[in-house]
Amino acid sequence: MGSFFDLVVGTVTQGLIYALLSLGVYITYRILDFPDLTVDGSFPLGAAVAAVLLTRGVSPYLTLIVAMAVGALAGLVTGVIHVKLGVRDLLAGIITMTGLFSINLQIAGSNLAVDRATDTIFTAAPTMALFGAMPLIYRKLVVSLILAVVFKLILDAYFSTQSGLLLRAVGDNSTLVTTLAKDKGSVKILGLVISNTLVALSGAVVCHEQRAFNSTMGTGQVVFGLATVIIGTTLFKNLGFVKGTTAVIIGSILYKACIQVAISLGLPANLLKLITAVLFLIILVLGNRRKSGVNANA
């Protein structure tokens, strides 16, 4: 196949890997109505943990699980700061994010690269046994797709459990949760834990894919996450059969596609972000066109 196809494969792969982060942001921002800035710290946290474990020869699959556990801990910290210590939501996230910058460097030492001879989830034996016949870029696509779809399905299933319904209620109508005699604080903490678990997983997969941890890789990821959630949910809000989680994954792919278009057009770097912004605007305006006008929540 031609180069165009490769480019689409590469772009969609990036979109799927970062979709894990978007799913995390979807839980806090869209469901819990909690603007969680922990993401800028928990994303590189996942990568730092994965990088250190990979360089120590730990099984690549295990590195993802450990990264998720550590990410969960980061979410727990933000939750406890907010709920138990009464710090405002934005500030609680900022505190954890700031602290994580140092913790990430403590974990990884400094920016850390993973040798090409080290197996990642894309090259380890079990992956090769299943998809070894494919070239690496397709294998990366398939593995990322599996991760995104599996976690989407788990989330969908979770949202229809009692705990998941409570989570949604806290964001929509928190008084209801109190009348049900449930503690909305612990529900919020749970939401933050699940969210940052996914964000750290995304960071860990990026580390596997790039074979590197960079301490500044978290910068701007909250903004990315928010943009993808808004793009996805706005675009599909009239299509009832598309679940929010699916919309968010597509939002993430579209975001990466916008950047790819800007790159492919050969635009100067200084204009790249502007073009990306214009593309977002077009998508949002198209998605928002309905009689009631602009939805202030979008």
Partner 1 sequence: MMKKIIAVAVILAIFATFAAGCGSKKVPVIGISQYGEHASLDNCREGFIQGLKDAGLAEGKDFTIDYQNAGFDDDIATQIAQTFSANNVAIMVGIATPAATACFAAAEDKDIPVVFTAITDPVKAKLDKGNITGTSDKLPVDAQLDLIRKIQPEAKTIGIIYTTSEPNSVSAIAEYEEKAPQYGFAIESIGVTQQSEVTLAVDTLLSKGVDCFSNLTDNNVVGVLPSILEKTNEAKVPVYGSEVEQVKIGCVAAAGIDYIALGIQTGKMAAKILKGEATAENMPYETITEFNYYINSAALAEMGLEVPAEIAEKAIESGQ
Please choose, out of 71-79, 108-116, 147-155, 168-176, the segment that lies near partner 1 by the rule CB under 8 A: 108-116
Q: Is 269 in the site for partner 1 (CB under 8 A)?
A: yes
Residue 289 has φ and ψ, to the nearest 5°, of: -65, 95
Q: Which residue stretches of 32-135 are H helix? A: 39-55, 60-83, 89-108, 125-131
# binding residues, partner 1 (CB under 8 A): 60
- What CA dihedral angle connects 79, 82, 83 and 84, to 10 degrees? 100
Please choose, out of 86-94, 114-122, 225-233, 241-249, the segment that lies near partner 1 by the rule CB under 8 A: 114-122
Q: Is 261 in the site for partner 1 (CB under 8 A)?
A: yes
Q: Is 173 in the site for partner 1 (CB under 8 A)?
A: no
Beta-carbon contacts of 78 under 8 Å, excluding residues fewer than 6 positions away, are: 36, 38, 92, 93, 95, 96, 192, 196
Distance of CA 145 to the CA centre of its chain: 14
Q: Which is nearer to partner 1, 182 or 211 (CB)?
A: 211
Q: Which is nearer to partner 1, 165 or 239 (CB)?
A: 239
Q: Is 119 in the site for partner 1 (CB under 8 A)?
A: no
Q: Is 223 in the site for partner 1 (CB under 8 A)?
A: no
Three-state SS across 190-244? Answer: HHHHHHHHHHHHHHHHHHHHHCEECCCCCCCHHHHHHHHHHHHHHHCCCCCCCCH
Distance CA 232, CA 223 (A): 14
Q: Is 281 in the site for partner 1 (CB under 8 A)?
A: no
Q: Is 275 in the site for partner 1 (CB under 8 A)?
A: no
Distance CA 272, CA 245 (A): 28
Q: Is 260 in the site for partner 1 (CB under 8 A)?
A: yes
Please choose, out of 32-40, 73-81, 85-93, 216-224, the segment that lies near partner 1 by the rule CB under 8 A: 216-224
Q: Which position has the token pair 């099984």?
A: 59
Q: Is 99 in the site for partner 1 (CB under 8 A)?
A: no
* Candidate list 66, 87, 154, 212; residue touching partner 1; CB under 8 A: 212
Please choose, out of 124-132, 177-185, 241-249, 256-264, the segment that lies near partner 1 by the rule CB under 8 A: 256-264
Distance CA 108, CA 115 (A): 15
Cβ atoms of residues 247 and 158 within 8 Å? no
Take residue 141 and report the two structure tokens written for it.
């696509």
Q: Is 266 in the site for partner 1 (CB under 8 A)?
A: yes
Distance CA 80, CA 69 (A): 16
Beta-carbon contacts of 51 under 8 Å, excluding residues fewer than 6 positions away, are: 108, 112, 113, 114, 207, 212, 213
Q: Is 102 in the site for partner 1 (CB under 8 A)?
A: yes
Binding mask 125-164 for partner 1 (x = CB under 8 A): ----------xxx---------------------------
Q: Is 209 in the site for partner 1 (CB under 8 A)?
A: yes
Q: Is 105 in the site for partner 1 (CB under 8 A)?
A: yes
* Candidate list 80, 87, 113, 146; residue touching partner 1; CB under 8 A: 113
Positions touching partner 1 (CB under 8 A) are: 2-11, 14, 18, 101-102, 105, 110-111, 113-117, 135-137, 209-212, 214-217, 220, 224, 235, 238-239, 254, 256-261, 263-266, 268-270, 272-273, 279, 282-283, 286-287, 289
